[in-house]
Amino acid sequence: MKPENQELRLIDTAHLIGEVEDYRNKGHRLVNVSCTRAGEEFEISYSFELDLRFENIRIIIPLDADIPSISGIYWGAFIYENEMHDLFGVHVRGMNIDFKGNLIRTTVPYPFRNTSFKGEGPCQDR
Amino acid sequence: MSRQIVMPFGPQHPVLPEPIHLDLVLEDETGVDGMLSIGYLHGGLETLVEKRQFPEYVYIAERTCGICSFIHGMTYCQGIERVMGLEVPERAHYLRTIWSEYSRLHSHLLWLGLFADSMGFENLFMNAWKHREFVLDVMEETTGGRVIQGSCKVGGVRRDIDQETLKKMERDLKGFEKGLKEMANVFLNDDSVASRLRGVGVLSRNDAYVCGAVGPTGRGSGVPIDARMTGYAAYGELDFSPVVEQDGDCYARCAVRVNELFSSIEIIRQSIDRIPGGEIEVKVKGNPDGEYFSRSEQPRGELVHYVKGNGTKYLARSRIRTPTLTNIPPLVKMLQGCELADVPVIVLSIDPCIGCMER
Amino acid sequence: MAFFEMAKTAIRSFVGKPATRRYPFVPGKVTPLSRGHVTIDVASCISCGMCMKKCPSEAICVNKDEKTWTIDRLRCIVCNSCVEVCPVHCLTMDTVYSPAVTTHSGLEVFHITYVKPEKPPKADSVDENKEQA
């Protein structure tokens, strides 16, 4: 098995649109947009691929900040951005198709924003 | 110009195997736009990493999807192995490849059956599922589970297949392939199938790229993306090339899957021929600390498992980006300007797996 | 033009034997590896609780004080995890599937009958002496 080398660059939120446009012009495919809560911040990673080369850019934003949408550049990005909004409560500005929080119907709003499973016992309460 | 109406479609619909809701904007019988909403199956599997230790999360990762479960488990294991720097034995890689390809056969046959059903070809539907039964039997014989194999673990595989069984598997493939050829002939050459599929739900190459189509949906539009070419597991040592069709309609997507059946059989043959002996797992010590985007090719397309460890037994984050999620924007593109009667065929042609998609 | 491509296959399946089996009357296929349901040998369980800790679906509960081993059959996902981690191999995977039910039949409780064998007193006292020293 050949291990895949993955590049990860941390960039500033202000440069996000420019960087993504660069990738689009170079012909990269948008693979994934993922959000992770790290302490009091969100890490948002954008992954691109061209000719089996996998590259990531990452922005780190505070919990209540909003980010610009990349759906103007990659049309299909709306699905990731809506998902991110519905699960984490990240506000995305200017999505081309905005479900307004109705893409994934959840009982609790923004269920992944605060998860607290830790400390539960190994077997269910009976 | 006639009046526009909005027609709800799903989540309960005779041809839809899974709950997905579409709001179709129609002008007479022609679809102008389609907007979908999901969320009937959201279970929050990703957050379970905080509750389950990373070796046990394999079972959860596997149960993300009931059809390509082995590949989910394998991709997750690959991610953890990479973060922890584990060297998995060659034999385990080959076994993983064999099981992955059987999963692909199983998934494609299931899909071909459902697809035949969606265009009203019941006989073909039953025939496809008859062939699928053979694959499920091999799976149960070698792993103990028909659809949830549970044979992958961090650091290798749980079960070995002895040489005799491997030989038997290779022998049985011959008869199986003969049956498949007969069935493929109907899918590819019968006029009643072709007239139902040709020119329906066309996705141009450019749209496929911009919307991020992966797997057979992308390959049907001439975008040669196949994550197997990155050479994970034993794929780097086997000879195969992605199956690509140029037309971008439902027929092309169907043809990609039919032809992939034979390419999968070829990969299984090669793996059985070249499988080395030796250990099937390595001991896992310590906890993962670091992050990795693990990629693999599912029957539906490229799968990404993002794992992030923090040096404890519990991972900080697992993100599962399933191929269906990426194939939803292309579906929205395809629905623009289609006929109402074609909607079931178009929706099924991307092979939607909503269970995977919402996790 | 190619019509009736399916006819040959269809006629063959019409004349030939059925591909399915009449399930409740004919037993289902079972292979030696099939995962059916978990069984416990109550005489050798040392109630260590490993199966409870490693169970991904929280189906197993081990109570050390009451000496019980409880399983919720409808929660169990038959993943073989408990069988693999059991240090004394008292759990086994049976190949027979649990029957389908329409109502939850409740938790299955097993009473552990294992009695800890007494260690030879001499070895014990030697150990204690070592610890004190």
- Which pair of structure tokens corresponds to residue B332? 């929205």
Does some domain include residue A44? Answer: yes
Among A52-56, B29-33, B243-247, where is mean pLDDT lowest? B29-33
Q: Which CATH number does the domain C40-114 belong to among 3.40.1190.20, 3.40.50.970, 2.60.40.10, 3.30.70.3270? A: 3.30.70.3270
* Tokens encoding B311: 């040096």
**Interface B:C, Cβ pairs < 8 A:** 67
In order of their start, the domains of chain B are 42-335 (1.10.645.10)
User: How many domains does chain A fold into?
Assistant: 1
- Nearest by CB: B60 against C8, C35, C56: C56
Q: B56 and C56 in contact by Cβ < 8 A?
A: yes
Which pLDDT value is given to residue B119?
Answer: 80
What residue in C sits closest to B58 (Cα-Cα)? C56
- Say which CATH number the domain at A69 has: 3.30.460.80
**What is the nearest CA distance from B206 to chain A, expressed in angstroms?**
11
Using the beta-carbon criterion (under 8 Å), do B304 and A32 form an inter-chain contact?
yes
Distance from the Cα of C53 to chain A's closest Cα (Å) equals 5
Residues of chain A contacting residue B316, judged by C-beta atoms under 8 Å apart: 36, 38
- Edge-to-edge strands of the sheet including B21-27? B4-9, B21-27, B30-37
State the smallest CA–CA distance between residue A23 and chain B in angstroms.
12
Domain interval for residue A41: 6-93
pLDDT in tens, B89-107: 888 889 989 999 999 999 9
Rounded Cα gap, residues B333 and B33, in angstroms: 8
Predicted pLDDT of residue B224 = 85
Residue C17 C-alpha from the chain's centroid: 35
Domain ranges of chain C: 40-114
Does residue A30 belong to any structural domain of this protein?
A: yes
Q: Any idea which residue has 């169990």 for tokens? A: C76
Q: Which of A29, A82, A107 has the highest number of chain B CBs within 10 A, making it the mutation to test binding with B?
A: A29
Quick: pLDDT tens for B134-175.
898 888 888 888 888 888 888 888 888 888 888 888 888 888
Q: Please identify which residue in the block is written with the tokens 């399983």.
A: C71
Q: So what's the pLDDT on residue A1?
A: 56
Check: CB of residue B215 under 8 Å from CB of residue B297: yes
Q: What is the mean pLDDT of chain B?
A: 85
Q: pLDDT tens-digit profile of B292-348?
A: 888 888 888 888 888 888 888 888 888 888 888 888 888 888 888 888 888 888 888
By residue count, chain A amounts to 126
- Is any Cβ of chain B less than 8 angstroms from the Cβ of C17? no
Is B267:B101 a contact under the CB 8 Å cutoff? yes
Residue A35 covered by a domain: yes
Within a domain: residue A50?
A: yes
Q: What are the backbone dihedrals phi and psi of residue B252, each rounded to the nearest 5 degrees, phi first?
A: -65, -40
pLDDT tens-digit map of C89-133:
888 888 888 778 888 877 888 888 877 777 766 655 444 444 444
Q: What is the pLDDT of residue B1?
A: 59
Nearest to C81 among B59, B144, B192 (CB): B59
- Closest CA in chain B for residue C79: B150
Give the mean pLDDT of chain C: 80
Q: What is the pLDDT along chain A (126 residues), one digit of tens a residue?
A: 556 777 888 888 888 888 888 888 888 888 888 888 888 888 888 888 888 888 888 888 888 888 888 888 888 888 888 888 888 888 888 888 777 777 777 777 887 877 766 555 666 554
- Is C52 in contact with A126 (Cβ distance < 8 A)? no
Return the beta strands (E) in chain B as ranges: 4-9, 21-27, 30-37, 152-153, 156-157, 289-298, 301-310, 317-321
